[in-house]
Chain A
Amino acid sequence: MTHLRSPARAKGTSAADKQIPVGTKVLLDEAGLQAFLSLLLKIGYTPIGPKVRDGAVVYEPITSITELPVGIKDEQEGGHYRLSQSPNGSFFDYTVGPTSWKKYLFPPVHKMWSAEKQGGAFKVIKDKKEEPAYAFIGVRSCELNAIHIQDKVFGFDRADHCEKGIFSDPGYVARRSKSLIIAVNCGRANKTCFCTSMGGSPHVTEGQGYDLALTELHSSSHHEFIVEVGSERGALILDLLPYKPVTHSHVSAEQAQERKARHDITRKMPDDVKTVLKKNIEHPRWDSVADRCLSCANCTMVCPTCFCSTVEERTDLTGDHSERWRMWDSCFSIDFSYIHGGAIRSETKSRYRQWMTHKLSNWHDQFNSSGCVGCGRCITWCPVGIDITEEAQVIKRTGK
């Protein structure tokens, strides 16, 4: 339920009266957004937001709204990504770029611990580093779903209890519980988007797990943001900002925006892809995709849910100091499945099959959800434009 905030802010009343209820929508202007960013910095958050680097919109630390991708629009297709500059000055007119929030919650390179040599023995030194409190600004609805999916992988959802043989990653849990999520609703969709066939939507839905959600409204005279309260924590922060009430015309503009974004979506994943893939572990299409796939691992690197990693031992030249590093890995690398005697998945065909069947089918058995949120990154960033929705459609049409 949406509450429209009364314009009269009762200053000086008790804190309980003052708190904005979850579900309330209010309005911030550009200056209000900058005030929000400054407040986050002041209270100890590390704000991470979109900015343009190397011709792409990426998520990096920001301190000012001038760093946002002002007027930047992205055009995406299979194997195609281009930015263009429009004069409208919108901050969030792009959809999703090659990076995802995974980079912060599950760092690509991470020192787990180090060890000092002591004769034939060694001493393990645990990393005592305090995890930063991130404020993620601009989390799309599909990306929020991806965060929830990784929560299950790394045990954020089970970190408060101990079950024999089921583990949590304490680093992930610490970073995740400290992170503030400021979602941004999509005003448009790209050609590679298909969130609506993965149970998602261009706009966040109530209870999706954000602290605040922004909808950017732009007209020739106004540049404003509807801010929806998603959590108590979000409400406390918002209450310190110079917000204004939203009107019904703001809300209808927001609804029109979501309708437009939904209408933009053209790609579709088959509803029954989980069972289609289970029945077609052997199918000629796996050979056809292997003829095109370069096994480059781009799809797994840009995917916001892919969680595979490897571990590397790094010693210094004296040999007295050694470190254990965890790094993102990909099921597309041949070493990934190596056991004594050789790699289990020696062919590209079986590596692509592993990735796609894991993502869309086996993930359901492992984590009770799909591993795909329909963000379309794997389509855009595939150098040869392999389209996971097309592969699934063809297998469904021609398979068992």
Chain B
Amino acid sequence: MTFAASNKKDTSCACYSGSADPMHPRPFKVVDIWRELSDTFSMSLVPEDGGPVLFEPGQFNMLYVYGVGEIPISVSGDPTDRSKLVHTTRAVGNVSKALDALKAGDVVGVRGPFGSVWPLDVAEGKDLVFVAGGIGLAPLRPAIYAAMANRHRFGNIAVLYGARTPEDILFAKELLRWRARFDIDVQVTVDRATGNWQGKVGLVTKVIASGGFDPNNSVAYTCGPEVMMLHVANALKNRGMGADQIYLSMERNMKCGVGFCGHCQWGSFFICRDGPVFRYDQIADRLDIKEL
């Protein structure tokens, strides 16, 4: 009978997860996996299904290890190279340690990309200020690549980076390479000098105070521990930058990435869907509320 049990709605909506169900992963092969720091590694992945590699700077994927689980990790690779995905993370939990133990040729599950992007289009003709702390350089790196690939569209570009010690400087060789260019200003500071470090010592906020950008005509992008980003935003505002010229990337527990599981809620926002990248003036009211 026609009125019994019929599916009225068409659910075969592929979006860009490659599946009608956003909880189903796509298999990606590990092409290469390499150590960045004592506890940090990167991996490059290519899709097994021959489908596209899609992402914008600032977005993240849910990476799944067979038999272990799934975690959200920001894309750290070059958005102008759509042949592979690159992810960088610290091996600190069950899943990230299992990812770290993979070898080239192994397969992981990928769901995504999810979330909001670092908006470079709003900075056309302006100075760009990237302020990263620790592993926070990884989610910012795709935006830096994109800025350098479109160098003529922007004024000065400043990359201000703070690490705990010289041994914790992520992408150190790349930072050196960028610093060798004449069209980008790279400043690196450490909280605590070790060995024969002769560079800057102190918080990254100190570098902001002296950094080479026009606060009245800049857009800033910051990623790092929450408390660091709060201080960075204040330091940028102290230099005269508007709250609507500052973007930051938030982190919360995530199980689904698509706004179903509820874990990443932060006030009215789902960080997976409304974030992770937010404009500072949209979140300033909740940034310093404890345990929100």
Contact = CB atoms under 8 A, between A and B. Distances in A.
Do A and B interact with each other, yes or no?
Answer: yes
B4 A344 contact: no
B51 interface: no
A160 B252 contact: no
A166 B114 CA distance: 10
B260 A340 contact: no
Interface residues of A, number: 69
B261 A308 contact: yes
Interface residues on B, range: 35 or more
Interface-centre pick from A45, A174, A354 (highest chain B CB count, 10 A): A354
B20 interface: yes
B67 A117 contact: yes
Nearest to A361: B268
Interface string A350-377: 1000100110011001100000000000
B259 interface: yes
Contacts of B152: none
A331 B262 contact: yes
Contacts of B16: 164
Interface in B1-25: 1, 3-11, 13-17, 20-25
Given A170-B20, A309-B255, A120 B105 contact: yes
Nearest to B90: A340
Contact of B13 (A168, A338, A357): A168
A237 interface: yes
Interface string A262-294: 000000000000000000011000000000000
A309 B262 contact: yes
A121 B261 contact: no
A160 B69 CA distance: 31
A311 B255 contact: yes
Contact of B262 (A133, A177, A308, A340): A308
A169 to B, nearest CB: 6
Nearest to B22: A167
A236 B1 CA distance: 10
Most buried by A among B5, B70, B105: B5
B23 A113 contact: yes
B258 interface: yes
A345 interface: yes
Contacts of A154: 260
A319 B66 CA distance: 9
Contact of B93 (A153, A336, A340): A340
B273 interface: yes
A331 B259 CA distance: 15
Contacts of A99: none
A350 B266 CA distance: 12
Contact of A322 (B66, B260, B290): B66
Interface of B: 1, 3-11, 13-17, 20-25, 27, 29, 48, 66-70, 90, 92-93, 102-103, 105-107, 109, 114-115, 251-253, 255-256, 258-263, 265, 267-268, 270, 273, 289-292
Given A336-B253, A358-B265, 15 more contacts: A44-B1, A115-B66, A120-B102, A120-B103, A121-B29, A124-B25, A133-B4, A162-B13, A162-B14, A171-B21, A178-B5, A281-B289, A309-B260, A311-B256, A344-B253
24 contacts: A43-B3, A112-B24, A113-B21, A115-B66, A117-B67, A120-B102, A121-B27, A124-B109, A133-B4, A133-B5, A173-B11, A177-B7, A177-B9, A281-B292, A308-B262, A313-B68, A329-B263, A339-B252, A350-B291, A350-B292, A354-B265, A365-B268, A366-B268, A366-B270
